[in-house]
Amino acid sequence: MSNGNLRNVAGHLKSQKVELVRADFADSRALAELLPGSDVVVHLAALVSVTKSVADPESSRRTNAEGTIKLLDQCVINGVKKFIFASSAAVYGESNPPLKEDMSCKPLSPYAASKVAGEAYCHAYANSYDLETVILRFMNVYGPRRSGGPYSGVMTKFAEALQQGKGLMIYGDGEQERDFVHVSDVVSSIAAAMTNPKAVGETFNIGSGVPTSINGLAELFISAGGKRVPIEHGPARKAEIKASYADISKARGVLEYSPTFELRKGVGEYLTWYQENCEIQTNAD
Ligand SMILES: NC(=O)c1ccc[n+]([C@@H]2O[C@H](COP(=O)([O-])OP(=O)(O)OC[C@H]3O[C@@H](n4cnc5c(N)ncnc54)[C@H](O)[C@@H]3O)[C@@H](O)[C@H]2O)c1
């Protein structure tokens, strides 16, 4: 629980269908108890802040790269059949969009490099042992329960500003483009990766496939908030990638992945959630 909030899973815990175990995902003793009999491991845990990975590359390497390798080891030892790995658009670095899975990886941060390492070990373990792996490269995921804080991303910062009645701050000219994908669409991609035999051994981009500029996103937030607030442009961020969005045709074809959540609706829903819940959200990043 280095990030996130137990309240986010409270409903699931009450349902009795989910068991929560608090442990380091690379702790072999805990895994030796938990993994036997498991069909699939979906590996989402990571230190996710790119900025923090630059400031503290060792933690990012230890958790994201070495931790993933240890988890893969335990999956092999304990007879897990399938491993789904949450990778990231960050592996593409400055590559020209639309990003395609067969482009070469050009990691620009320790975080991105740790994801490339995780992917490489997934391939190696799938080839060397009796473990099926699927790699999902998520674009910019958003939706309810996304926690706040300085590393939380543009959606949370816009929601926070509107809630405080402030204007929106945009780095640079705001024409930088991102691929925002709703968490419910990401969940459907994970479910497909778990069950579809054609996914085994493959890597998929999971996004909306639609580029959205930060200026465009700001307008969606202002419209959802129902009140005109000023937009301020600050200095551009150093080495910020200009455009990042995915070609999702492979996931559409193989996984039958079909993102359905329209961004305008998603922004409205997220802002409402934020306004109703943010006081009780703790900033754990
Ligand atoms: N959110 C995005 O836009 C996005 C984009 C690309 C990839 N991803 C990847 O998707 C996954 C989920 O991201 P998220 O946005 O939900 O991040 P998150 O920070 O909300 O979730 C990651 C979780 O991992 C946990 N964790 C970290 N180290 C751990 C350890 N040693 N043992 C056990 N748990 C540990 C954290 O406490 C946190 O709850 C990550 O692997 C991330 O790299 C996310």
Q: According to the model, what pLDDT value does residue 14 have?
A: 92
pLDDT at 281 over 70: no
Measure the CA–CA gap between 218 and 213, rounded to whole angstroms.
Answer: 9
Position 261 in a domain: yes
Q: According to the model, what pLDDT value does residue 150 have?
A: 64
Question: Region 48-55: what's the mean pLDDT?
Answer: 93
State the residue range of the domain holding 41: 6-280
Which residue has tokens 């999702």?
248
Is residue 2 within 6 Å of ligand 1 at its C-beta?
yes
Question: Region 28-50: what's the mean pLDDT?
Answer: 96
Best residue for ligand 1 mutational test, from 47, 48, 241 (most atoms within 8 Å of Cβ) = 48
Catalytic choice (111, 121, 125, 245): 111
pTM: 0.96
Question: Region 16-37: what's the mean pLDDT?
Answer: 94
Closest CA to 121 of 47, 66, 186: 66
- Residue 3 Cα: closest atom of ligand 1: 37
Cα–ligand 1 centroid distance for 64 (angstroms): 9
Tell me the pLDDT band of 283, cut-offs 50, 70 and 90.
very low
- CATH at 89: 3.40.50.720
The percentage of residues in the chain with a pLDDT greater than 70, rounded to a whole number, is 96
Cα–ligand 1 centroid distance for 103 (angstroms): 24
Position 1 in a domain: no
Q: According to the model, what pLDDT value does residue 285 have?
A: 39
Cα–ligand 1 centroid distance for 105 (angstroms): 20
Closest CA to 185 of 246, 132, 227: 246
- Residue 25 Cα: closest atom of ligand 1: 32
Closest CA to 267 of 148, 161, 158: 158
Q: According to the model, what pLDDT value does residue 245 have?
A: 97
pLDDT at 45 over 70: yes
Cα–ligand 1 centroid distance for 229 (angstroms): 32
67-125: pLDDT as tens digits? 999 999 999 999 999 999 999 999 999 999 999 999 999 999 999 999 999 999 999 99
Catalytic: 111? yes
Position 74 in a domain: yes
Is residue 44 within 6 Å of ligand 1 at its C-beta?
yes
Position 140 in a domain: yes
Is residue 1 within 6 Å of ligand 1 at its C-beta?
yes
Q: According to the model, what pLDDT value does residue 21 have?
A: 94
Report the range of poorest mean pLDDT among 43-57, 130-144, 148-162, 269-283: 269-283
CB 12 within 8 A of CB 52: no
- Residue 89 Cα: closest atom of ligand 1: 6
Measure the CA–CA gap between 126 and 128, rounded to whole angstroms.
Answer: 6
Position 64 in a domain: yes
Question: Region 50-72: what's the mean pLDDT?
Answer: 96
Cα–ligand 1 centroid distance for 223 (angstroms): 30
Is residue 275 within 6 Å of ligand 1 at its C-beta?
no
Q: Is 95 exposed, middle or buried (0-12, 13-18, 19+ CB in 10 A)?
A: middle
Tell me the pLDDT band of 198, cut-offs 50, 70 and 90.
very high
At residue 181, the 3 state secondary structure works out as strand
Question: Region 14-37: what's the mean pLDDT?
Answer: 94
Position 129 in a domain: yes
Report the range of poorest mean pLDDT among 9-13, 20-24, 40-44, 45-49: 9-13
Count of domains forming the chain: 1
Measure the CA–CA gap between 226 and 211, rounded to whole angstroms.
Answer: 24
Q: According to the model, what pLDDT value does residue 1 have?
A: 85
Is residue 46 within 6 Å of ligand 1 at its C-beta?
yes
Q: According to the model, what pLDDT value does residue 151 have?
A: 66
Measure the CA–CA gap between 278 and 259, rounded to whole angstroms.
Answer: 27
Position 135 in a domain: yes
- C-alpha distances (whole Å) from 246 to each of 225, 252, 257 are 28, 12, 13
- Residue 47 Cα: closest atom of ligand 1: 27
